[in-house]
Amino acid sequence: MDGFQKRLSESLQLRLSVALSLAILLVALLAGVFAFVSAIDEAHEMQDESLRHVAVLFDRQHMTLRYPAGEHVAGDDEESRIIVQYLADSHLAVGNDDSVIPLPFPTTLADGLTTLNIAGEDFRALVRTTATGERIVVAQEIGVRNKEARESAWRSLLPFMILFPVLLLLVSDLVRKLFRPIASLSAEIDQRDKQALHPIDEQHLPTEIRPFVVAINRLLARVAQSMENQRRFIADAAHELRSPMTALSLQAERLAATELPAPARERLLPLSRGIERSRQLIDQLLALAAAQSSPERALTRVSVHQIYRRVLEDLLPQAERKSIDIGVEGDEDVQLTVNEMDLLILVKNLADNAIRYTPAGGRVDLSVERTAASIVLQVRDSGPGISAEEQARVFDPFYRSMGTDESGSGLGLSIVKAIAERMGAQVRLGFTDEAAHSGLCVSVLLKADSTS
């Protein structure tokens, strides 16, 4: 009960359903009582009318009576029978048994309808003086009349009994339909990506929830603005750090070119590496800020193989240092309509990871394939791959797997994801060798219309 009350206080839909059901129940009850009472009244009136008809018929047809004196008239309709007798014959009544006529009606009864008790039984009786001057009494047992009236009254309640559950079902269905826009609205918001802060379309919503949605849209706009400010701050900070870092790296290079004592040269090496790592971090931060910012980018027709070649030119020295066999697989090229810089950065980050995390002597393959529904760009390596548990986390900024000797900022895959989202592409991680669970295979799926 407590649970129901809690749900009732929390759910507007449940409250509306319960309130409407109670209102229907109350109206049905009142209408039922009214119908029941008036059906009983009507039945009684009709029964009085039948008494009158019998009396009139008896009078018009000039009927005469013959009593089955001393005989029982008990039969199958004994209960509902209408008794007709001359009022003057009441004194002929035998015993107190009302199944024997004539019955002992008081001879002083006035013409018209009356209710009276004869031999312990209540009767409704109509006294009439006929055209021949005789006074007749037409009577019926009250108990029988009431039973018949009640039966007919119950019959009059039948439509209410059928309509009530139908109405309840209709109301609950109607309420559910009325609240459907809210359910579909929350489903739409739930399905959104965390970066999708565009306003909710309020045009087709009921006016009652529109102000709420307008307020949510204003909040979304404020959140989007504050995220944009944050991004800009990071981009500005990275930009500002770039010049002193370049200067530092230049100084370190110059220092390396001078005569230095052996211990100083030994210490210069980690210093230069640190400066280089910081430069890479700043470059990645700038790339991420650019990938996440919203301005429209110029779209051009780009050959995927050409992008691959440019990336290979950049990364070949790195691959050669580790004796990694890197190359493009397949001859079929695909032309895409995308921002060239975006695609270049995306492929470069994936290829850079593949070379970096694949042990020396390994293999890295870049490929592009067109299927009926999409275009799939793949970067496969023969390294250790990423375990299924970690696959979702590696896209988080600054996330780096434990146990790798390679240096890195942990931003590469975040940049890939941001660029893919902007392109309307999906990034999937898998294994190059599914059976052995080894080697990372990154697939970037673009819609087929990206080629047009």
As separate numbers, helices (DSSP H) first and strands (DSSP E) second, the chain gives 10, 11
Q: Interface residues for ligand ATP in 336-355 (CB under 6 A)? A: 349, 353-354
Tokens of 435: 């059976």
| Angle, vertex CA 170, rays to CA 169 and CA 174, nearest 5 | 120
| Cα–Cα distance, 310 to 317 (Å, whole number) | 13
Q: Which stretch binds ligand ATP (CB under 6 A): 13-21, 48-56, 292-300, 411-419?
A: 411-419
Instruction: By CB under 5 A, tell whether 284 contacts Mg ion.
Output: no
Cβ atoms 368, 442 nearer than 8 A: no
Instruction: By CB under 6 A, tell whether 144 contacts ligand ATP.
Output: no
Show the binding pattern over residues 428-447: x = contacts ligand ATP (CB under 6 A), - = does not: ------------x-------
Instruction: By CB under 6 A, tell whether 284 contacts ligand ATP.
Output: yes
Over its C-alpha atoms, the chain yields an Rg (Å, rounded) of 49
Shortest distance, CB of residue 256 to ligand ATP, whole angstroms? 24
User: In the 8-state DSSP scheme, what is residue 139?
Assistant: E
Nearer to Mg ion, 292 or 353 (CB): 353
Instruction: By CB under 5 A, tell whether 383 contacts Mg ion.
Output: no
Helix (H) or strand (E) holding 442: strand 438-447
Q: Which stretch binds ligand ATP (CB under 6 A): 37-45, 80-88, 119-127, 408-416?
A: 408-416
Shortest distance, CB of residue 405 to ligand ATP, whole angstroms? 11
Among 289, 304, 312, 412, binds ligand ATP (CB under 6 A): 412
Q: Interface residues for Mg ion in 411-440 (CB under 5 A)? A: 412
Nearer to ligand ATP, 118 or 420 (CB): 420
Instruction: By CB under 6 A, tell whether 282 contacts ligand ATP.
Output: no
Nearer to ligand ATP, 343 or 440 (CB): 440
Selection from 285, 206, 205, 212 nearest residue 245 by Cα: 285
Q: Which stretch binds Mg ion (CB under 5 A): 85-93, 336-344, 350-358, 443-451?
A: 350-358
β-pair type (325-329, 363-370)? parallel
| Cα–Cα distance, 142 to 202 (Å, whole number) | 69
Instruction: Kindly list the distances between the CA atom of residue 351 and the CA atoms of 276, 367, 411, in Å, as whole numbers in the listed order.
Output: 20, 11, 14
Among 17, 47, 353, 367, binds Mg ion (CB under 5 A): 353
Cβ atoms 301, 337 nearer than 8 A: yes
Q: Where are the alpha helices (DSSP H) in 124-179?
A: 142-178
Binding site for ligand ATP (CB under 6 A): 280, 284, 349, 353-354, 357, 381, 383-386, 394, 399-401, 404, 408-414, 440
